[in-house]
């Protein structure tokens, strides 16, 4: 699933392409909004909120979430799409640009004044202008018995982290993802490190947590099951962690560096 830095870049591309422009085409290919026509309305801005995207268009907001397979593409008028047309969920065009949302996990239109109903549950946004480390820390430590690997993925705690960052943060802090939040020494350092990592990758196409931008060396543990730890050489282990079978996500750890 795309993480907050990926969504931030998508929002920036869409904002650059559409902000201040009048829509010349509006094609919603989902039943609930199939008759909605935004032609003639001006796009005020496109902003990210954690892993969510918000197109603010007059008094309406187009809310989308990429989930596992979604993406937004920007095209020149008449340019061939890079995905099949049947995967398109919405097309928003201006005179000089075409934008298409493919296989979006969530697509809805709400009054702008009701945005809080779709994103108000989110914790502080790591890449947002109102990032609040103290509130994120309070959210993280509110359930001290919860595994830290679950708490870091909970968008109600802080918004923007996904599975890559969850695994890498636990390695860098030297803790197993299954360790309870209450057993993590100085959780404020975990919050601060999460902020530094995602900020460092905000403008990068290839995410890097090791400082080495080469294939196979970009991550400490994520996706490296069975391979030697880049720090101590111990084989990286792999498992799954979630609140239920529906939320199980891959976890990776070094049994020597993480305790």
Catalytic positions, please? 2-3, 51, 249
Cα–Cα dist 239/253, whole Å = 9
Cα–Cα dist 39/27, whole Å = 9
CB 7 within 8 A of CB 49: no
Hey, what are 175's tokens?
């803790």
Cα–Cα dist 136/84, whole Å = 40
Pick the closest to residue 148 from 251, 17, 48, 224 (CA basis): 251
- CA-to-CA dists, residue 22 to 88, 208, 211, angstroms: 21, 38, 42
């Amino acid at each position: 699933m795309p993480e907050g830095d990926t969504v931030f870049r998508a929002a920036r591309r869409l904002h650059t392409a559409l902000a201040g422009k009048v829509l010349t085409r509006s094609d919603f290919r989902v039943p609930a909004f199939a008759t909605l026509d935004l032609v003639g309305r001006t796009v005020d801005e496109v902003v990210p909120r954690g892993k969510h995207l918000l197109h603010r268009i007059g008094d309406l907001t187009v809310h989308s979430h990429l989930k596992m397979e979604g993406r937004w593409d920007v095209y020149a008028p008449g340019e061939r799409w890079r995905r099949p047309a049947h995967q398109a969920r919405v097309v928003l065009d201006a005179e000089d640009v075409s934008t298409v949302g493919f296989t979006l996990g969530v697509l809805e239109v709400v009054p702008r004044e009701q945005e809080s109903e779709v994103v108000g549950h989110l914790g502080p946004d790591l890449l947002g202008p109102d990032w609040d480390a103290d509130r994120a820390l309070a959210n993280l430590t509110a359930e001290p018995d919860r595994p830290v690997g679950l708490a870091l993925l909970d968008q109600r705690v802080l918004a923007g982290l996904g599975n890559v960052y969850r695994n890498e943060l636990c390695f860098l802090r030297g803790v197993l993802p299954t360790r309870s939040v209450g057993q993590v020494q100085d959780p404020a350092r975990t919050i601060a490190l999460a902020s530094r990592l995602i900020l460092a990758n905000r403008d990068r196409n290839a995410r890097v947590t090791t400082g080495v931008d080469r294939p196979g060396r970009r991550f400490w543990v994520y996706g490296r099951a069975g391979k030697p730890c880049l720090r101590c050489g111990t084989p990286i282990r792999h498992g799954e962690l979630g609140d239920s079978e529906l939320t199980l996500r891959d976890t990776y750890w070094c049994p020597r560096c993480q305790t």
